[in-house]
Amino acid sequence: MNIELILREKIRQASKILFQQVPDEKLIQIQPTRKDFHGDYTIVVFPLLKISRKNPEETAKELGFQLEKDLQFVSGFNVVKGFLNLELNKEIWKDSFKEMYGQENFGIESSRKETIPYLVEFSSPNTNKPLHLGHIRNNLIGYSLAKVLEANGHQVVKTNIVNDRGIHICKSMLAWQKWGDKKTPGSTGKKGDHLVGDYYVKFDQELKKQIAGLEETGKSKEEAGKEAPLIQEAQQMLHDWEAGDPQVLELWKEMNSWVYKGFDETYKRLGVEFDKIYYESDTYKLGKELVEEALRKAILLRKEDGSVWADLSEEGLDEKLLLRADGTAVYMTQDLGTAVLRFEDNNGFEKLIYVVGNEQNYHFQVLKIIMKKLGYSWSDKLYHLSYGMVELPEGKMKSREGTVVDADDLMDEMIQTAKEMSEELGKLEDYSEEEKEGIYKKIGMGALKYFMLKVDPKKNMTFDPRESIDFNGNTGAFIQYTYARIQSVIRKAQELKISWDGFSEEISELLPKEKELVKILLNYKDVVTEAGENMSPALIANYCYELVKEYNQFYHDHSILRELDTDTRKFRLQLSEMSGRIIKSGMGLLGIEVPERM
């Protein structure tokens, strides 16, 4: 029984009777009653004043009396200013829990609502460096969002665009040519993405020396940056690459292969995967074709130096470069081609969601405008999920200066921290070494993922590894520990041969903690829906935390296995089992495993 859906329909009917008008769906706002007020569900009546034409208190009272009359399960109500707090009788909670308990995957839409997919693009790495802390947040948000959308019944295609061409790639290649001494991942024992990243840093270091030298001769910093031999060599290499120079292409393929192997290892550890991977080296060609076609139609303009631009002055913006004077492509060119290719590959899409940091807000604003100028009506389906930057307590990271935290190193640190804290607590002394290592990994990776995902994607955040793995507070470890506690209760009940099958009608009125737990469990489906609509896995994460807090209060206040009344004990075991199922489901939407024992 979906109480909220029933309430919504009855509010519409009651409004027609009382105010002679049916309110729009968005005007009906229902939420769980705050714990400092008396009631179960609260209706916010302020949006309804436009049709009631009465003050908030009168509107709320009239609506309350009508709902109490129309719905048997509404046992009373109270009004606090513009808030109508409804009180529901005990039977509705018992019946709702019974219905929920009987659903194997409560809250998850098992059937697909449509065949047109949602495309979620995330990761988008450059092949000149390994994945780092920022990429971790990107991957976790994208992967979790895909799972949340699937849980809402949408068909989802998880996509990745690998930025495998461009001046930044040539910088790593050129540095390896000059200072690499033919080193390979095989000869050094180093992951390929880390090895290539070292030469990206090396290029920057040597370039700075050249710029400083030119400045000493009287050149301005801007002039020195353009005239430095290294940057000119890198630009020439990019031109040679686009021209198909065999030697440049051979080196590019070899170094990229090192990086791809390294990426695959990192993705596997992180627990993310993709349905379709695109490569900029393929899609930029289509982008260039689109630009040339738009030039012929006079949609774009070519300047005297040969560069191609989009004039966005009518949209209140400036001009945007699409092709450089030497004919080489920029990121925007590639994104134009990729968007068209994805639309064709999937016979359209409901929405193409770009999970990209907020420093690219302008880029995606311009992308939609240019796509529309090019005549693609579906450009309105492009959506930029703009997430905030992640920093460490000591501040920002810079790839070129080698001050980033590599994803691999961070995952190692998280698992090691989980091991140290678990050993301090002494909770795993009776486990085999293999079991311990498996639990350390689940705790460490769970802590990392939860800490990243509990913050609304749009907000900037600071990641503190040790704080994230605390076994108390709003952490993944605390939620995992509660799940393990529930499984321990279930195992003991099985060992004692206590049955909790079936439902008893003899259960007395639910105690406050029991009712609160049922209420928050019932809310899971609505949270999953809201998380999908808002594209925010953080809603799932924080729901899981609120659920385990509520369960632990219930566990602390009431006996379960020692309860003498058979029906009450059975109900509390069912409450525990359902809590465990929802925790596992919710954490699963975040890509987090929950250990059966801790």
- Same domain? For 148 and 10 the reply is no
Confidence of residue 1 (pLDDT cuts 50, 70, 90): low
Q: Flag whether pLDDT at 159 surpasses 80.
A: yes
Residues 152 and 272 in one domain: yes
CATH label of the domain that carries residue 556: 1.10.730.10
The answer on 423 and 348 residing in a single domain is: no
- Which of 45, 73, 88 finishes a domain? 88
| Same domain membership, residue 203 and residue 317 | yes
Cβ proximity of 50 and 24 under 8 Å: no
**What per-residue confidence (pLDDT) applies to 377?**
95
Residue 112 lies in a domain: no
**The pLDDT value given to residue 94:** 87
Cα–chain center distance at 395: 23
- Is residue 57 included in any domain, yes or no? yes
Q: Is residue 94 part of a domain?
A: no
Residues 75 and 211 in one domain: no
What pLDDT was estimated at residue 5? 87
- Go through 146-175 and write b for each residue having 16 or more CB atoms within 10 A of its CB, e for each that does not: bbbbbbbebbbbbbbbbbbbbebbbbbbbb
Judgement on whether residues 274 and 414 belong to the same structural domain of the protein: no
Q: Is residue 109 part of a domain?
A: no
Q: Are residues 382 and 335 in the same domain?
A: yes
Return the CATH number at 189: 3.40.50.620
Is residue 24 included in any domain, yes or no? yes
Who contacts 186 (Cβ-Cβ below 8 Å, separation ≥6)?
A: none
Q: How large is the average pLDDT for residues 24-40?
A: 90
Strands 461-462 and 351-357: unpaired
The candidate with the shortest Cα–Cα distance to 70, out of 127, 17, 145, 135, is 17
* 339 and 282 together in one domain: yes
Domain that holds residue 18: 3-88
**What's the pLDDT at 397?**
44
Mean pLDDT, rounded, for 62-67: 95
Residue ending a domain, among 335, 363, 391, is 391
Give the pLDDT confidence score for residue 531 in this predicted structure. 97
What pLDDT sits at residue 95?
87
Q: Looking at residue 112, what is its pLDDT? A: 74
User: Quick one: pLDDT band at residue 430, thresholds 50, 70, 90?
Assistant: confident
Domain count, the chain: 3
User: Residue 399: its pLDDT value, please?
Assistant: 44
Same-domain pairing of 23 and 57: yes
Domain harbouring 15, CATH code: 3.30.1360.70
- Return the pLDDT at 400: 46
pLDDT at 149 over 80: yes
**Is the per-residue pLDDT at 360 higher than 90?**
yes
Whether pLDDT at 404 is above 80: no
Task: Please provide the size of the chain in residues.
Answer: 598
pLDDT at 589 over 90: yes
Residues 316, 222 within the same domain? yes
Mean per-residue pLDDT for 234-263? 96
Which of 359, 391, 423 corresponds to the end of one domain? 391
For residue range 468-520, list pLDDT tens digits in order: 888 888 999 999 999 999 999 999 999 999 999 887 666 767 888 999 999 99
The mean pLDDT of 28-35, rounded to a whole number, is: 90
The verdict on 131 and 259 lying in the same domain is: yes
Same domain (yes/no): 387, 422: no
**Does residue 68 fall inside a structural domain?**
yes
Residues 299-333 have pLDDT tens digits of: 999 999 999 999 999 999 999 999 999 888 888 99
Q: What is the pLDDT of residue 363?
A: 95
Q: What is the pLDDT of residues 173-218, one digit of tens each?
A: 999 999 999 999 999 999 999 999 999 999 999 999 999 999 999 9
- Asked if residue 385 lies in contact with residue 354, where contact means CB atoms within 8 angstroms, the answer is yes
Q: Is residue 430 assigned to a domain?
A: yes
> CB–CB of 573/516 below 8 Å?
no
Identify whether 401 is part of a domain: no
